[in-house]
Amino acid sequence: MSILMKGADVAKTMKEDLTGEARRLKDRGILPSLTIVRVGARPDDLAYERGARKRMEMIGIECKVVELPETITQAEFEKTFFKINEDPKVHGILLFRPLPGHLDEGPVVSRINPLKDVDCMCPVNIAKVFSGDETGHAPCTPEAVMEMLDYYKIDPRGKKVTVIGRSMVVGKPLSMLLLKRHATVTICHTRTKDLSATCREAEILVAAAGKARMVTADMIGDGAVVVDVGINVDAKGNLCGDVDFNAAEPVTSYISPVPRGVGSVTSSVLAKHVLKAAEYLSLER
């Protein structure tokens, strides 16, 4: 029988540690604080924001949202962003991307304080992920996958892991985190020949393609661990992952659902990064 990897269980365990950490910082006179910068009001940003605010509050982290109009000019956007970047009371900054077409993210991505860059958009943090240096912040979603594997005591060391997707948000950084943990990683993408065969060889299969139910049961090796990062809306308007869950579940040893899988862990990782940032920034003063 396959074991369901429940995001809520992972988040609950993380909450206990993170709440203690937030309390210890407060005892030292530091109120950990996250600022979310949102331009416009995209529904998926709003949904993530709601979840993140709730999670920060639960853990004891202050969470402010700076909402900017979609018509904001580049100059105004940068001015607002850099003011937040320089505010000593702000420990973490989350900028929702992509920005509206007329805005260039380049200047803020290159000048954000890497310690405050809690979702890994700046070159310093990206380089740290790729060089296996854990002093930076990895992107939250790939780290949520690692938290999930750890919670279920699935050690990637020496295992054949296939990651579907090579984006800088999920696929590539996740592959580096897995490599750091001594997995043998294969990265698949739209040009991969015989995707099914490569997936079938995997002891751990991670799907992050953004294609509703594209991973079918015949693409999964017997007893494999399957982690589904995809968030899609199917033709009937239902939320679903990249894995055809009902067909796949019987052949897996562990499988994460969508919703209530990886997505439920991401905001806990964000909280973890804000606390790490608060700690590091306090050492700088």
Using CB under 6 A as the criterion, which residues of the chain lie in contact with ligand NAD when the complex forms? 141, 164-167, 169-171, 188-190, 192, 195, 208-211, 214, 229-232, 262-263, 266
51 is in an annotated binding site: no
CB of 99 to ligand NAD, least distance (A): 15
User: Beta strand 252-255 with 3-4: parallel, antiparallel or unpaired?
Assistant: parallel
Q: Which is nearer to ligand NAD, 25 or 94 (CB)?
A: 94
Cα distance between residue 159 and residue 162, in whole Å: 10
Q: Which is nearer to ligand NAD, 91 or 172 (CB)?
A: 172
CB of 187 to ligand NAD, least distance (A): 8
CB of 271 to ligand NAD, least distance (A): 14
Q: Do the Cβ atoms of 14 and 268 come closer than 8 Å? A: yes
167 is in an annotated binding site: yes
97 is in an annotated binding site: no
CB of 232 to ligand NAD, least distance (A): 5
Amino acid identity, residue 156?
A: P
154 is in an annotated binding site: no
Q: Which of 150, 141, 146 is nearest to 52 (CA)?
A: 141
Cα distance between residue 205 and residue 227, in whole Å: 6
Using a 10 angstrom Cβ sphere, with 0-12 exposed, 13-18 middle and 19 or more buried, the burial of residue 247 is middle
Q: Which is nearer to ligand NAD, 142 or 221 (CB)?
A: 142
Please enumerate in sequence order all residues whose Cβ is within 8 A of that of 202, keeping only pairs 6 or more positions apart, or say none.
160, 161, 162, 186, 221, 224
Q: Which is nearer to ligand NAD, 18 or 72 (CB)?
A: 18
- The owner of tokens 């505010």 is 87
CB of 231 to ligand NAD, least distance (A): 4
Q: Which is nearer to ligand NAD, 214 or 282 (CB)?
A: 214
Q: What are phi and psi of 143, to 5 degrees?
A: -70, -30
Which residues carry a binding-site annotation?
Answer: 165-167, 231
Which residues carry a binding-site annotation for NADP(+)?
Answer: 165-167, 231
